[in-house]
Amino acid sequence: MKRVPGGCWLIILSLLAGCAATPPSRFYLLTSGEAAAEGAALQDLVLGVGPIRLAAYLERPQIVARHSSNRLKVEEFDRWGGALEANIAWVVAENLSHNLGTDSVLTYPWERALKPAYQVAIDIRRFDLVRPREVRLTALWRILGDEGGELHMISKSDITQPVWGDGFESQVAAQSQALEQMSREIATAIRSLEGTGD
C-alpha cells in the first residue's frame, strides 16, 4: 500500500472542507391567490392556459434578479421547485378559476378531445426583482378561439409589485401577487368577450 505524501493530505482535507461548507439549495414555488369571482360565475366556461413562453434569461432553474439595467444576477442556491413556465401556467389557471367561477380551466397541452372556448397564451418578457423592494412582471397575452385559429384579443400587462420582507421567499410571494394581478386583467377581458363585464 502506497503512502500518501503529507502535502496531499492537506489538499484532500481542504477539498473536503470546501464541500462541507457548500450551502444547501433552497427551492421556491409561485402560488395562486384566493380571490372570489368578481361578477356572475361562468360555471360552464372551459378555458385553456398556455403555452407559456419565457424570455431566454428566465429559462433556468435558478432565480434571476437584476443587478443593473444590463446585468443579471443568477442565484445559484435559490431555485425554482420545478419548471418555471409550468408553475406559471398552473398559477394563472387557478387564478382564472377563482376569478371566473369555473373549475374547467386546463393547462397546455390538453387532450385533443377537450376544446376550450378560449385559450390564453402568454409571453413572459420580464419577471424579476428590479429593486431591493420591487418585482416587475411584463407579459404579452393573447386570448384565442377556434382551437388557436382565431385571435379575440391581444394585450400587455406591465406590473410592479412591492416586496414586503427580506429574502427570496418574500420576492416569490410578490411575484405570485403580480401574476394574480395579471390574471385579474385577463379575467376582465374574458368577461368582456362573454358579455358579462361590469
Q: Which residue has the cell 374574458?
A: 190
At residue 71, the pLDDT reads: 87
Band of the pLDDT at 182, cuts 50, 70, 90? very high
CA–CA dist 58, 74 (Å, integer): 10
Residue 37: pLDDT over 80: no
Query: Higher pLDDT residue, 12 or 177?
Result: 177
Does 9 have pLDDT greater than 80? no
Domains annotated on the chain, with CATH: 27-194 (3.40.50.10610)
Assess contact for 21 and 74: CB atoms under 8 A: no
pLDDT in tens, 77-87: 999 999 999 99
Residue 18 has pLDDT above 90, yes or no: no
Least reliable range by pLDDT among 5-9, 92-96, 140-144: 5-9
C-beta of residue 147 within 8 angstroms of C-beta of residue 118: no
Look at residue 2 and tell me whether its pLDDT is greater than 60: no
- At 137-146, the pLDDT tens digits run 999 999 999 8
Mean pLDDT over 143-167 rounds to: 94
pLDDT of the residue at 22:
75
* Residue with more model confidence, 69 or 191: 191
Taking a C-beta distance cutoff of 8 angstroms, is the pair 41, 94 a contact? no
pTM, to two decimals: 0.86
* pLDDT of 147: 83
**Quick one: cell of 123?**
409571453
For 96-117, the pLDDT digits (tens) are 999 999 999 999 999 988 999 9
